[in-house]
Amino acid sequence: MQKTEMLYEGKAKKVYATENPELYIVSYKDDATAFNGLKKGTIAGKGVINNRVTNYLMKMLEENGVPTHFVEEISDSETVVKKVSIVPLEVIIRNISAGSFSKRYGVEEGIVFEQPTIEFSYKNDDLGDPLLNEYHALALKLATREEIDTIKAMAFKVNALMKEFFLKINVELVDFKLEFGRLSDGTIVLADEISPDTCRFWDSRTHEKLDKDRFRRDLGNVEGAYQEMMRRILGE
Ligand code: ADP
Ligand code: UDP
């Protein structure tokens, strides 16, 4: 599979067209941003880690009945994926309070919820990805009622599978962001990435942060945390 033209360069990945109109190639970068692009930097080795971690998790989810965009890893930092039209919603699942949840509701980080929560943001950088509810998403025609119901069911299934997976490698899955897309026939599949950039991971025993919060909060050893997560997930 060959890249043809670059269609999009985002904050963390580049997206290329291929000779096959139904397939794209995504190329993961070491660039890191936080706070809606206000903080910029690089994390050495992140592109490779996020590519390999995402693909491992997408394959695990596929094997457990979650349809994804994953097709084939073609290099350490590049993957062939099914082309989708991205539903412009960031779907956030939380198992433990942290980040913007703690800030918004004035609660400490680390409260373990009895049930996971779900929330949606409108994926729109110019507006700073504002929080919205299902009625707002319907009013803005970002997705249909059926699509929202499918997305919610898939997101909770992903959470159940991932929580179980991470527990076995001594990682608490605190929260994460998912994106979904429509294939040309309208089928909803899981897209984008699942990585230390898009999830909060805490070591089960020490509660050490093993994710992008080390970059956001200048906690040091960012590269080491990403490497440790890849090592645990891939079992290397
Ligand atoms: P951002 O756009 O937030 O800066 P990235 O740098 O990760 O994010 O860019 C990757 C872009 O590719 C994102 O906008 C994402 O929604 C989109 N994307 C992910 N998977 C697919 C896919 N299978 N088909 C089309 N677009 C995709
Ligand atoms: N997240 C993400 N992209 C975003 C916003 C959030 O991947 O644009 C992830 C983030 O890494 C965390 C989860 O979604 O795992 C919840 O993030 P939160 O709403 O707490 O926001 P933040 O603390 O990043 O402002």
pLDDT confidence of residue 37:
87
Ligand 1, atom 8, lies closest to the CA of 10
- The closest ligand to the CA of 67 turns out to be 1
Q: What is the DSSP letter of 127?
A: G
CA distance 154 to 180: 9
Contacts of 223-229 with C-beta under 8 Å, sequence gap 24+, read 223/43, 223/44, 223/45, 223/46, 225/196, 226/43, 226/45, 226/46, 226/49, 226/50, 226/196, 227/45, 227/49, 229/49, 229/53, 229/171, 229/196, 229/201
Rounded distance from Cα 151 to ligand 2 centre (Å) = 18
pLDDT confidence of residue 114:
98
- Cβ of 12 closer than 6 Å to ligand 2, yes or no, is no
Q: What is the value of pTM for the model shown? A: 0.98
pLDDT confidence of residue 1:
84
pLDDT one digit per residue (tens) for the chain, 236 residues: 899 999 999 999 999 999 999 999 999 999 999 998 899 999 999 999 999 999 999 999 999 999 999 999 999 999 999 999 999 999 999 999 999 999 999 999 999 999 999 999 999 999 999 999 999 999 999 999 999 999 999 999 999 999 999 999 999 999 999 999 999 999 999 999 999 999 999 999 999 999 999 999 999 999 999 999 999 999 98
Rounded distance from Cα 60 to ligand 1 centre (Å) = 21
Ligand 1, atom 20, lies closest to the CA of 192
Rounded distance from Cα 133 to ligand 2 centre (Å) = 17
CA distance 24 to 19: 9
Ligand 1 atom closest to 15 (CA): 12
